[in-house]
Structure 1
């Protein structure tokens, strides 16, 4: 595989970011997908099709798993792009400038390259398996804080209302025993912030793979741990939960998750 592949992926994603950053009418052309909180703008498919065109030129034999596809033709593909064209669509619509473009490349079911880009601040998070994680050329490292000293990022899995009780139990268990909570609205950026040491822990009870596939590699290449809440590997072609942290707080979070899911006191 091309040793310059990661740089080529970054160039493609940065070009796509121009469309996101320059959008002046993000609130126009909004339509609902699964519910009134699951929205898509005119820009989501536009950015995705740009990424598809450029990425498939780069690796024509690869499959493509994107958020805005109704169906996914990925069976039998050794290489697979996993893409979220605008992660944090509600933030994008509201002009909060906390959205990202997320691209992961998996080979034989293992993510090998990852790029997450916040075009508003020109922050390019990237990783290559075995080569480390980086932000604009600076090496990333997770913290080593326990839960007690952790700033916790979380997602509310708002598209999946059945997860609300479980999410609230996590908040109830963690909030009195950590530094504080933040809810940013872009899971891909939450992962990267853990990798960069801006926060210490991230969890969400249900996400799609395009939300975390790239971020998961960036966290692990920064010395962290990325799994589902039951400790199993992250799912790359179906929905799953997410738990990302360091060698100290990640096991603590999994222990809390186990108690919650067993119905005991967290």
Structure 2
């Protein structure tokens, strides 16, 4: 690790930040008038997203000035994920912004720490349900301090899956083809509205399968938590050569281990991949 801080110290720091940011966004929704806007003409953003982002990134810059930051609202430069020379923090201040704006509880603060392109620590904190998922490389995964494991599901037809859909609606057919294939081959679908929580729910056995196309800040922390809970994580498509797989968000697939191969085949076939 390029910094003198231990991985334990970094993970504890990330958890503290996530909890404090979670309290900030909870307070903003419950006590103040929610202000909303749109970025790229279609994606909802609230003033609380920006406030929480600035709080988290400011604290990281103060504590670790030599580290880089990739955050959804204030530092969304995806090329940061390909630079491996210094540690990288990957931040989503509110994963599930539409849920947040509509008063739904499925909202999370996601903070991941990566070194040399490998995610080594991840925190996903859900302030409205009071749940904190935590993963640290080689140390397992916990929910509110208690060890969690995947469901152990073995048969896709008895498996519950989650996915999501993009704000832009220009290229829906491939997504609909995959969805139809999964519904035909699995027990049922759950649409939670937060990729980070979808993945953490696979980690603790509330779901068996998750797949989607997302950005690094949506999944980086939760993916490590799922891996540390014994789930299998990867991609049903190809990862570009040289791009860190831990931070590549296209064609993500995370499952209970015995579901990985059959579900990957279902999704590849539905996608027309060779």
TM-score, reference length from structure 1: 0.91
Find out whether 1:153 has 2:162 as its counterpart: yes
Find out whether 1:228 has 2:238 as its counterpart: no
Find out whether 1:15 has 2:24 as its counterpart: no
Distance 1:154 1:160 in 2: 16
Q: CA deviation at 1:249?
A: 1.1
Distance 2:87 2:129 in 1: 30
Q: CA deviation at 1:57?
A: 2.6
Please say which of residues 248-257 and 223-232 is displaced more in the overlay: 223-232
Q: Which residue of 1 aligns with 2:86?
A: 78
Output aligned runs, 1:250-265, within 5 Å: 250-262=260-272
Please say which of residues 167-176 and 223-232 is displaced more in the overlay: 223-232
Output aligned runs, 1:116-127, within 5 Å: 116-127=124-135
Decide whether aligned partners of structure 1 residues 25 and 162 sit closer, same or farther in structure 2, where only a CA change above 3 A counts. Answer: farther
Contact 2:84 2:117 in 1 (8 A): no
Distance 1:186 1:40 in 2: 14
Find out whether 1:139 has 2:144 as its counterpart: no
Output aligned runs, 1:1-266, within 5 Å: 1-2=5-6, 3-23=8-28, 24=30, 28-36=34-42, 38-69=43-74, 72=77, 74=80, 75=83, 77-145=85-153, 146-156=155-165, 158-204=166-212, 206-230=213-237, 232=239, 234=245, 236=247, 239-262=249-272
Contact 2:108 2:127 in 1 (8 A): yes
Q: Gaps (5+ residues) in structure 2?
A: none
Q: CA deviation at 1:29?
A: 2.5
Secondary structure of the corresponding residue to residue 4 of structure 1 = helix
The Cα RMSD (Å) is 2.0
Distance 1:35 1:27 in 2: 22
Residue deviations 1:52-99, cap 9 Å, x none? 111223322110000013653844642000000000000000001111
Contact 2:84 2:115 in 1 (8 A): no
Q: Gaps (5+ residues) in structure 1?
A: none
Distance 1:57 1:128 in 2: 22
Distance 1:57 1:124 in 2: 24
Contact 1:126 1:133 in 2 (8 A): yes
Distance 1:263 1:6 in 2: 38
Distance 2:249 2:256 in 1: 23
Decide whether aligned partners of structure 1 residues 163 and 247 sit closer, same or farther in structure 2, where only a CA change above 3 A counts. Answer: farther
Distance 1:86 1:214 in 2: 13
Distance 2:272 2:178 in 1: 13
Q: CA deviation at 1:196?
A: 0.4
Decide whether aligned partners of structure 1 residues 25 and 94 sit closer, same or farther in structure 2, where only a CA change above 3 A counts. Answer: farther
